[in-house]
Amino acid sequence: MSRLGTGMRHEIAAFALAVLLGVMSSGACTSVNAGAQSDSAEMNQDASRAAVFNGDSAYRYVAKQVEFGPRVPNTPAHKLAGDWLASELRRHGAQEVIEQPLTLRAFDGTQLQARNILARYNPDASERILLLAHWDCRPWADEDKDEAKRSLPVDGANDGASGVGVLLEVARQLGLKSPSKGIDILFVDAEDWGSEGDEDSWALGAQAFAANPPVKGYSAKEAILLDMVGGENATFRREYFSEKAASDLNASLWNIASRLGYSSTFPNQPGSAITDDHVRLIETGIPTIDIIEYNPANGGFNPRWHTSADTMEGISSITLQAVGDVVMTYLRNNY
């Protein structure tokens, strides 16, 4: 969403070409063994069938978060929602749920009482994947066209609650059927108390997790960030930093989407370069992708982004189902 220098534009052109070649080399494959997860011993079903994931359940998890009110750090709604998130993860059978309390200094000097919440399935397994989403809300709807609303917090139905809602439904499914390898679900705080043009002011919870993980020597083989995954008619493209750090993981997920019939929601195309929580994990050496709504045809993010309209009215269980099916199928095939 920012202006790019000439060098960056060359890099993006090369990236677009690489993705195009990837599409050309994988697009014609129709056999069951096509694609990146075919070498997995865990592949549990034929390639065109989705793993079990309930998009209506994910939708209710989004609505439940919004009912607390805006989950802005230092507010009662934030505290109560955080307690509820941790209790849900415990209820869904995570062997460990670790709360990481944080005091973070925002760009405007505010001291934020924040917390990251980490749920671990099979905590002793060495091969692990990390799934994450931010759970806080932006304190200002500063993209609203109505100036009077710009000082109010957002509901964050899409920006925050959607990714968390999908991951709570993933947790529920893991509680019903345990994975054979390690899966961690991380809800990061204080992503959205940022200032445009100040890259370091965003993703404070993810920065704290990366600098000082609540598990000594924490590591994962790969990670998936979900951000703004509930918008009606949303489309997801292969984000630039994700592609640079984890092109194989991107390819696997977009291939699964294609096999499940979700190519219009997941066009196999390069997206933009987006500063988000995943960049902080990439910096620590964990290859991480960001599944984030981005559509160049309507200016990038969802039109409700950082406005007073980021409410449940903008949330589609169809989009949540598509994202959940893709992620859950990847998990069942590989973990």
Of residues 115-154, those binding Zn ion (CB under 5 A):
138
Q: In this complex, which beta carbon is closest to Zn ion, that of residue 129 or of residue 226?
A: 226
Q: Which does 202 bind (CB under 5 to 8 A by kind): ligand AHN, Zn ion, none?
A: ligand AHN
Q: Taking CB under 6 A as the rule, does residue 293 contact ligand AHN?
A: no
Q: Which does 236 bind (CB under 5 to 8 A by kind): Zn ion, ligand AHN, none?
A: none
Question: Are the CB atoms for 190 and 204 separated by under 8 Å?
Answer: yes
Binding mask 180-199 for Zn ion (x = CB under 5 A): ------------x-------
Of residues 153-182, those binding ligand AHN (CB under 6 A):
159
Q: At 191, give phi and psi (nearest 5°).
A: -75, -35
Provide the token pair at 51. Answer: 């793993």
Q: Taking CB under 6 A as the rule, does residue 227 contact ligand AHN?
A: yes
Minimal distance in Å, beta carbon 69 to ligand AHN?
Answer: 18
Q: In this complex, which beta carbon is closest to ligand AHN, that of residue 169 or of residue 276?
A: 276
Among 88, 143, 155, 159, binds Zn ion (CB under 5 A): 159
Q: Which does 184 bind (CB under 5 to 8 A by kind): Zn ion, ligand AHN, none?
A: none
Q: In this complex, which beta carbon is closest to ligand AHN, that of residue 1 or of residue 52?
A: 1
In SS3 terms, the chain reads as CCCCCHHHHHHHHHHHHHHHHHHHHHCCCCCCCCCHHHHCCCCCCCCCCCCCCCHHHHHHHHHHHHHCCCCCCCCHHHHHHHHHHHHHHHHCCCCEEEEEEEEEECCCCCEEEEEEEEEEECCCCCCEEEEEEECCCCCCCCCCCCHHHCCCCCCCHHHHHHHHHHHHHHHHHHHHCCCCCEEEEEEECCCCCCECCEHHHCCHHHHHHHHCCCCCCCCCCEEEEEECCCECCCCECECHHHHHHHHHHHHHHHHHHHHCCCCCCCCCCECCCCCCHHHHHHHCCCCEEEEEECEHHHCECCCCCCCCCCCHHHECHHHHHHHHHHHHHHHHHHC
Binding mask 86-115 for ligand AHN (x = CB under 6 A): ------------------------------
Minimal distance in Å, beta carbon 274 to ligand AHN?
Answer: 5
The bridge status of strand 111-121 relative to strand 182-188 is antiparallel
Q: Which one of 141-149, 262-270, 272-280, 326-334 is the stretch in contact with ligand AHN (CB under 6 A)?
A: 272-280
Q: In this complex, which beta carbon is closest to ligand AHN, that of residue 42 or of residue 198?
A: 198
Of residues 112-151, those binding ligand AHN (CB under 6 A):
none
Q: Taking CB under 6 A as the rule, does residue 276 contact ligand AHN?
A: yes
Q: Which does 259 bind (CB under 5 to 8 A by kind): Zn ion, ligand AHN, none?
A: none
Q: Which one of 26-34, 102-110, 230-238, 274-282 is the stretch in contact with ligand AHN (CB under 6 A)?
A: 274-282
Q: Taking CB under 6 A as the rule, does residue 290 contact ligand AHN?
A: no
Q: Taking CB under 6 A as the rule, does residue 189 contact ligand AHN?
A: no
Among 274, 286, 323, 326, binds ligand AHN (CB under 6 A): 274
Minimal distance in Å, beta carbon 110 to Zn ion?
Answer: 17
The CB-based long-range contact list for 210-218 (8 Å cut-off, 24+ gap) reads 210/280, 210/281, 210/283, 210/284, 214/98, 214/100, 214/116, 214/118, 215/98, 215/118, 215/120
Site residues (vs Zn ion, CB under 5 A): 138, 159, 192
Site residues (vs ligand AHN, CB under 6 A): 1, 159, 192, 202, 227, 274-276
